[in-house]
Amino acid sequence: MIQFKIQDYGVGISNQVKDKLFKEMITTRGKNGTGLGLYMSYSMIKGNFKGDMYFESEEGKGTTFYIKVPISE
**Domain-wise residue ranges, the chain:** 2-69
Full-model pTM: 0.80
How would DSSP label each residue in the chain?
-EEEEEEE-SS---HHHHTTTTTS---SSGGG--S-HHHHHHHHHHHTT--EEEEEEETTTEEEEEEEEPPP-
- Of 27, 22, 25, 33, nearest to 65 by C-alpha is 22
Mean pLDDT confidence for 38-48:
89
Supply the pLDDT for residue 68. Answer: 97
Confidence label for 20 from pLDDT (cuts 50, 70 and 90): confident
Supply the pLDDT for residue 15. Answer: 87
Mean pLDDT confidence for 24-31:
64
> Phi and psi for 11 in degrees, rounded to 5?
-80, -10
- 2-69 belongs to which CATH class? alpha beta
Check the CA dihedral 5-30-37-14 and report its sign.
Answer: positive
Supply the pLDDT for residue 32. Answer: 65
